[in-house]
Amino acid sequence: MYWKLSSVLIGVLFFSFSAMNLASADNLLAFVNVSDQTMTVKKNGKTLYHWKVSTGRKGYATPSGTFRPVRMHKMWRSRKYDNAPMPYAIFYNEGYAIHGTSYVSRLGSPASHGCVRLNTANAQILYKMLQEEGLGNLKIVIK
């Protein structure tokens, strides 16, 4: 009897926490428009930011689709591209990330090896928002 009651209680708690997580999921949306080379950041459906980005240049496509971030690093260095700095990196698909860049003059045009580049100050804003909201509460849509 005690075992059955414990199992039911655990199931109810699990369902409650799962429902809470579902309710809070997708608080943040980062929508990357590849043709316009922009990112729109929304929180709870309200547009907060609209920034220029650089996505993949010819021969280095930025993957399209809907993604969740898998990890984030305040400062990362590319192992593939000459130890290039990737400040405020938010990785979402294997080696692809949203990150800051010092090449701000190229923002608004395709210029990356497939990552989504932002002005470093904007990357920091997104990074801090994600720290506050939690890794699972950002949906990244790239079209």
The pLDDT tens digits of the residues spanning 21-66 come to 444 467 999 999 999 999 999 999 999 999 999 999 999 999 999 9
What is the mean pLDDT of the segment spanning 122-141? 97
> Is the pTM for the entire model greater than 0.75?
yes
CATH for the stretch 28-142: 2.40.440.10
Residue of 50, 73, 113, 115 marked catalytic: 115
73 among known catalytic residues: no
- Going from N- to C-terminal start, the domains of the chain cover 28-142
- Residue 84: DSSP 8-state: -
What is the mean pLDDT of the segment spanning 135-140? 96
What's the CA gap between 94 and 106, in Å, rounded? 24
Average pLDDT, the chain: 88
99 among known catalytic residues: yes
Q: Taking the chain, what is the end-to-end CA distance rounded to the nearest angstrom?
A: 54
Residue of 50, 73, 99, 113 marked catalytic: 99
pLDDT tens-digit readout, 70-85:
999 999 999 888 889 9
What pLDDT does 81 receive? 87
Which letter, b or e, does each residue of 90-102 get, where b requires 16 or more Cβ atoms within 10 Å of its Cβ? bbbbeebbbbbbe
